[in-house]
Amino acid sequence: MNQPAEILATDAADNIQLYEQPLNERMRTFLRLEFLYKQLIYNIERPKTWASRAAIASLLDIVAILSRGDIRGDVMKELERQLFLLERFQSQDNVDQSQLNDVTDKLGSLRNDVNEIGPKYLQKLKDDEFLNAIRHRSAIPGGTCAFDLPDYTHWLRQGFDRRFADMSNWLQPVKPLCDSVAELLWLQRNSRPAEKQLATNGVYQHSLEKGNSVTLVRIAIPKDLNLFPEVSGSQHRFTVRFMGWEPGDSRPVQSHDDTEFMLTIC
């Protein structure tokens, strides 16, 4: 089944819409973590109680994702791989050594931070009775309202300084991983240049070489086209269909116009 690519409006230019589609499970996990981390950081700094609610919800979703499989191990392996690749550029003359050193130092620092939190980094959050109560009630629609969780409501009514201090404390165990994922995604997105492509009759198909390391597809189109890409595929091939959107109850319909767009295969 075709899946709509994820829009990343914060990364797009004023007149460009940028979408991304992961091609494997690790990249899907990384993009979801980045999405939730951005929400968390945005809301944790805002004094309104609704923002604190949203921050807690994002934190609990992050913990839920990190509890599945050895994501810490995946992040460590990817940090090591990127450091190995970057070290190969150290001796090349056409490389900005200052920028390369900055990136290498940052990756090394993140690797140390992820290593220091240890494999049981989530235990503190999993043992927190206050967060556990919110997590369990969140499975019920409206389950975190005042009569369901009066202690949560009481905490939300505390001053912002107190709430911010508590949320910052809860964030610490997962921050090294989230920061590492953000940096790894930055490297991945900037690893290849964008190329102009044409979707004939609104459809573009691309086959990938066997044994490729591609994990992410990025698509940029002008906003004034009023189209969005629907991407389906795997690490072997992918198809992009440009869909027209109209407000109301009508479903999006595939465009049959030839559409130029910028494609980055990372």
Instruction: Give the start-to-end residue ranges of the domains of the chain.
Output: 3-24+192-265, 30-186
Tell me what percent of the residues of the chain surpass a pLDDT of 90.
79
Average pLDDT over residues 118-134: 96
Average pLDDT over residues 215-238: 92
* pLDDT greater than 50 at residue 10: no
> Are residues 21 and 6 in contact, defined by beta-carbon separation less than 8 angstroms?
yes
Q: Amino acid identity of 153?
A: T
CATH 1.10.3900.10 fits 30-186, yes or no: yes
Local confidence band at 12 (pLDDT 50, 70, 90 cut-offs): very low
Tell me what percent of the residues of the chain surpass a pLDDT of 70.
95
Kind and range of the H or E element at 169? helix 160-171
Question: Which pLDDT value is given to residue 1?
Answer: 43
As a whole number of angstroms, the distance between CA 164 and CA 65 comes to 23
* pLDDT greater than 50 at residue 7: no
Local confidence band at 8 (pLDDT 50, 70, 90 cut-offs): very low
Question: Which pLDDT value is given to residue 212?
Answer: 84
CA distances from 157 to 3, 143, 151, 178 (A): 40, 18, 10, 28
Local confidence band at 2 (pLDDT 50, 70, 90 cut-offs): very low
Residue count of the chain: 266
> Are residues 101 and 119 in contact, defined by beta-carbon separation less than 8 angstroms?
no
Average pLDDT over residues 3-29: 74
* pLDDT greater than 80 at residue 132: yes
> Which two three-digit tokens encode residue 95?
């490389």
- Give the residue, 39 or 4, on which the prediction is more confident: 39
Just give the CATH number of 3-24+192-265.
2.60.440.10
pTM of the model: 0.91
